[in-house]
């Protein structure tokens, strides 16, 4: 099954130590869909913008943009994003950065206050989902499916 999965699934790593510790990928592309995991403002293992939610949001969006690029997508392909904040009162500063990136794309969005993130200096976490259209180079006939003969679909 692993060999068949590799033909239509692409795992993308950012090199974060958390990926190995927890067992996840920064992003996963399956066919024309890309799912970017919850992303925080890390650089070289350190939190960027400890007391600045806008700076954290900018760093997060840079990381997400790189992951999308590695998957053959861009911010323009984002259809949904979710923002988790440790203080909802920061939403204006965070929204000011989000609108710079997503203002023309206008994906579905959810913003939720959470009690805490994995590091007490992290104030923002964002995850995104993107969908590539056939015009972006994906075979429109791609339909991964499991049948009695195993996994089938047009490879990436």
- All structural domains of the chain with their residue ranges: 2-152
Spatial CA neighbour of 82 closest among 68, 66, 102, 62: 102
CA 75, CA 32: separation in Å to the nearest integer? 14
The helix or strand, by DSSP H or E, that contains position 3, with its residue range, turns out to be helix 2-8
Buried b (16+ CB within 10 A) or exposed e, 86-125: beeebbebbbebbeebbeeeebeeebeeeeebeeeebbbb
Mutual angle of helices 91-102 and 53-70, in 10-degree steps: 30
Q: State the pLDDT at residue 14.
A: 82
CB atoms within 10 A of CB 74: 14
Q: What is the pLDDT of residues 88-108, one digit of tens each?
A: 999 999 999 999 999 999 999
Identify which of 122, 140, 121, 141 has the alpha carbon closest to the alpha carbon of residue 132: 140
Question: Average pLDDT of 51-75?
Answer: 96
Select from 3.10.580.10, 2.40.50.840, 3.30.1330.40, 3.30.930.10 the CATH code of 2-152: 3.30.1330.40
**pLDDT tens-digit profile of 68-83?**
999 999 999 999 999 9
**Cβ pair 68, 75 in contact under 8 A:** yes
Task: Flag whether pLDDT at 112 surpasses 90.
Answer: yes
pLDDT band at 136 (very low <50, low <70, confident <90, very high): low
What is the band of 23 on the pLDDT scale with cuts at 50, 70, 90? confident
Q: Contact, 75 vs 65, CB < 8 A?
A: yes
- Band (33; pLDDT cuts 50, 70, 90): very high
Asked whether 36 and 131 are in contact (CB, 8 A), the reply is no
> Looking at 6-10, 93-97, 110-114, which range is the least confident one?
6-10
The pLDDT of residue 6 is 52
Residue 17 binned pLDDT confidence (cut-offs 50, 70, 90) = confident
Using DSSP's 3-state secondary structure scheme, residue 83 falls into strand
């Amino acid at each position: 099954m692993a060999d068949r999965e590799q033909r239509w699934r692409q795992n993308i790593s950012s090199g974060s130590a958390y990926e190995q510790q927890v067992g996840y990928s920064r992003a996963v592309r399956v066919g024309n869909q890309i799912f970017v995991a919850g992303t925080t403002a890390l650089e070289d293992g350190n939190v960027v913008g400890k007391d600045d939610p806008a700076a954290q949001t900018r760093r997060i969006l840079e990381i997400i943009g790189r992951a999308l690029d590695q998957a053959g997508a861009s911010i323009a392909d984002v259809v949904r994003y979710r923002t988790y904040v440790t203080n909802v009162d920061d939403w204006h500063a965070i929204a000011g950065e989000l609108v710079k990136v997503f203002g023309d794309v206008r994906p579905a969005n959810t913003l939720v206050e959470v009690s805490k993130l994995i590091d007490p200096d992290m104030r923002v976490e964002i995850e995104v989902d993107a969908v590539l259209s056939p015009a972006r180079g994906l075979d429109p006939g791609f339909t991964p499916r499991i049948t009695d003969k195993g996994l089938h679909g047009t490879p990436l």
